[in-house]
Structure 1
């Protein structure tokens, strides 16, 4: 087994994944804590879902992307967007590599040049030095964004807009990032449609939420495979249903309204993992609730869903680290950290 350090995940999540290791079991679905693993998935209409009708406030949403240039002999770019809150409203920051400090985009609309691997602290700062090596350094980026007409979902309490915006990055005369419903229109107008698009894939999504009511449900919409269908993943924690035989609190993970994982007796089973199947492909579900139960506020709970890149692969082995599947990470806090 190897560590998850090569994955595009926050260091705290890498440590969490390495702690759990590759002991995931293959199960089709789980309907109840005491039921066999071969039982069918039931809907999230009992127990927690009846009390988990409200959504938890989202502190930030961070999405990491991998862009492989079509022509330039450079390593894949690893880009990161973070949507957050401030007293003045939603914010956006951009990082040109996993180790670079995020660049705060303080204006609602603008453009700027970003050296790959930049360590600048804000949009008016300078870039960092390009690291020397045997492979060509990543090319500089041209970043464009417009959030002036961005619209948000008030029910979701999320800083990530749902429409009316674009964020576009260009490197070596290729589009390496195009996010937002207006991105395609901007690229066509800016470059007259005469610019190729690199191979771009989202590799992780991290949502940090504040959970004042443990029974509140947090929902996220993700695609576990590039070009695959979009799924709604919801996570909640609630007292066990009367007569379920579980006792104590339960963790629920649902996919498209169907219960995929139900973990019981969480004060003892505060860490664990199971494997479920989504669109016929394995997705590893891991949770670590130790910080939630046994640490002072803000107390963090972490739930990760990670798609495997191959059916026969095992969690966190070398071949998986070389081409990891998409990961959704939900970090829940009792109070703002």
Structure 2
């Protein structure tokens, strides 16, 4: 689609605008995470999507190959109890990939992603290339696989958040850093002038006044010693309140001499890591939030 606000977002304008345009009021509550992994001597992207709707929950595993994509979808509806534990085989470039899971004791908070009491393991040639969840011992016992030779790396996270005035989530910006609490507060009604406040661990990092004129923009903040570029688009909250959502993106940057993201020979991985290189460094983890107003 055409770039409606290049002056605000620069190279990110099209990306954020496209995402905002694809979301709608019927969007399900979902979280999508993209991981960089390496197996069969090649780097591959693995996308995990957790979804929650009126009839239950589900998750999808998508392994990206250079020529095709292999997908595994599992419904976790209450009447599908036997599906809460199991495994499936995937064919990725002629190689067998095994997906193991156990969600029988999974515990959730408000979102679709389980927080504890579960595991999701992806195995290739007797090696766990990606392991999610806290039931680590159970996962290794079930799969009879060895730990990964190269630890997977979380590239991006996309999620939907809901609220009336406050929108909260958690994020880990540095690979070895701690998890931070993120709170977005937006005043758009009443007699007060619209304004936007964004806090990380209760500390105010962004305050946007005169929001009617600054409904799209970006600002650089510092978290865990890393530069984090924060982009926002709250146009629909102000001018299309009945239909639209706001979009926020947090993009981290590593120092130019960092090797954290140049650890893979695969061309697509290297291009993903380096295509956003600027004077501030190498683009790293990104967090994208769709913020929906609850009725």
What is aligned with 2:122? 169
Contact 1:273 1:287 in 2 (8 A): yes
**Does the C-alpha gap of structure 1 residues 259 and 312 become closer, same or farther in structure 2, counting only changes over 3 Å?**
farther
**Does the C-alpha gap of structure 1 residues 16 and 83 become closer, same or farther in structure 2, counting only changes over 3 Å?**
farther
Out of 211, 214, 217, the position equivalent to 1:269 is: 214
What is aligned with 2:55? 88
What is aligned with 2:98? 142
Rounded to whole Å, the distance in 2 between the matches of 1:257 and 1:96 is 37
- Is the aligned partner of 1:73 residue 2:27? no
- Is the aligned partner of 1:62 residue 2:32? yes
**Does the C-alpha gap of structure 1 residues 249 and 319 become closer, same or farther in structure 2, counting only changes over 3 Å?**
closer
Q: What's the Cα RMSD here?
A: 3.6
What is aligned with 2:225? 280
Deviations, residues 65-109 of structure 1 (Å, cap 9, x unaligned): 11123xx332x2111111111233222122212984853202211
**Does the C-alpha gap of structure 1 residues 284 and 305 become closer, same or farther in structure 2, counting only changes over 3 Å?**
same
- Is the aligned partner of 1:318 residue 2:275? yes
By relative contact order (CA 8 Å, sep 6+), the higher-ranking structure is 1
Q: Secondary structure at the match of 2:231?
A: strand
What is aligned with 1:40? none
What is aligned with 2:176? 227
Report the alpha carbon displacement of residue 191 of structure 1 after superposing the two structures with TM.
4.7
What is aligned with 2:73? 104
Report the alpha carbon displacement of residue 294 of structure 1 after superposing the two structures with TM.
3.2
Rounded to whole Å, the distance in 2 between the matches of 1:114 and 1:218 is 37
Report the alpha carbon displacement of residue 143 of structure 1 after superposing the two structures with TM.
0.4
Contact 1:147 1:165 in 2 (8 A): yes
- Which runs of 4 or more aligned residues in structure 1 lie more than 4 Å from their structure 2 counterparts after TM superposition? 14-19, 98-102, 239-242
Out of 91, 94, 97, the position equivalent to 1:115 is: 91
What is aligned with 1:123? none
Select the structure that is richer in helix: 2
Rounded to whole Å, the distance in 1 between the matches of 2:137 and 2:220 is 40
Unaligned runs of 5+ residues in structure 1 are 1-11, 24-56, 117-129, 131-136
Q: Secondary structure at the match of 2:283?
A: coil
Rounded to whole Å, the distance in 2 between the matches of 1:320 and 1:231 is 25
Report the alpha carbon displacement of residue 142 of structure 1 after superposing the two structures with TM.
0.8
Q: Secondary structure at the match of 1:320?
A: coil
Rounded to whole Å, the distance in 1 between the matches of 2:216 and 2:30 is 24
Contact 2:119 2:139 in 1 (8 A): no
Report the alpha carbon displacement of residue 15 of structure 1 after superposing the two structures with TM.
9.8
Deviations, residues 208-246 of structure 1 (Å, cap 9, x unaligned): 1344x2x1x22222211112111111222125999xxxx
Contact 1:218 1:234 in 2 (8 A): yes
Out of 113, 124, 141, the position equivalent to 1:189 is: 141
Matched pairs, number? 255
**Does the C-alpha gap of structure 1 residues 312 and 89 become closer, same or farther in structure 2, counting only changes over 3 Å?**
same
TM-score (norm 2): 0.74
Once the two structures are overlaid, the 10-residue window that deviates more, 184-193 or 268-277, is: 184-193
Report the alpha carbon displacement of residue 299 of structure 1 after superposing the two structures with TM.
0.5
- Is the aligned partner of 1:160 residue 2:117? no
Deviations, residues 100-149 of structure 1 (Å, cap 9, x unaligned): 48532022111001223xxxxxxxxxxxxx5xxxxxx8x44210111111
Rounded to whole Å, the distance in 1 between the matches of 2:214 and 2:90 is 45
Q: Secondary structure at the match of 1:199?
A: coil
Select the structure that is richer in strand: 2
Rounded to whole Å, the distance in 2 between the matches of 1:254 and 1:175 is 36
Unaligned runs of 5+ residues in structure 2 are 13-26, 76-82, 259-272
- Is the aligned partner of 1:236 residue 2:185? yes
Rounded to whole Å, the distance in 2 between the matches of 1:18 and 1:114 is 44
Out of 304, 309, 314, the position equivalent to 2:249 is: 304
What is aligned with 1:207? 159
Q: Secondary structure at the match of 1:158?
A: coil
